[in-house]
Structure 1
């Protein structure tokens, strides 16, 4: 029984490692959060949402998230041509995680600093 528990634990840790490989870095979670709270965003809107990210880095991270089937890129049929980004159905499964991280972050900030999450 102990051996089964260890094997299951290893499998869970590998799954967490795989998820962290995909979501690691300074910007990906913030980009996904922007798309969780806004179902469809243009590049410039995501750029405004994710404070401090450069155009080049946002473009790179969006391409990476698109390659990993988290984000969908849609060319809009308007003039001038524009592109919108949204979460795929697979990416939408991260919404609950984003909500949990947000809740935990607010509680943690309050615990550390005794202030509300709205203050920076």
Structure 2
């Protein structure tokens, strides 16, 4: 049985998770980096994201320990990004989101997509 306290803790954990990986770009960038390190420009092109937004997203991901930034001693200077061992903890989450997304897309693209059915949240207006 869920208590009010356990529900609150769950909501806080979900909020914390969304603060780290939420938004339009972070999951896209994590998915790209699962196939190997990338230079800044490669990430920008592959994700189709502006350099300004990419820089902001990568800084946040680095602060949260998900991405490692390495400045290469080349001329001109290049920067490579890769996933950290800590980001491996998101592997199952990424796989689950990918699976759900594929199923959802298939469902929405089918000609027999069911209409939305409300879910009983257990909340009643008389309370």
Specify the alignment match of 1:112 in structure 2: 108
| Cα distance, 1:81 vs structure 2 | 2.5
Runs of 4+ in 1 over 3 A off after TM superposition: 77-80
Query: How many residues of Structure 1 are paired with residues of Structure 2 in the alignment?
Result: 111
Q: Does 1:43 align with 2:40?
A: yes
CA RMSD of aligned residues (A): 1.9
CA distance in 2, matches of 1:100, 1:45: 26
Q: Does 1:89 align with 2:67?
A: no
Which of 64, 67, 71 matches 1:68? Answer: 64
| Cα distance, 1:10 vs structure 2 | 2.1
- Report Cα offsets for 1:57-114 as digits up to 9, x if no partner: 0011101111111111011233432211011111121122111111111111111103
* Unmatched tracts of structure 2, length 5 or more: 112-127
CA distance in 2, matches of 1:92, 1:33: 11
Q: TM-score, normalised by structure 1?
A: 0.81
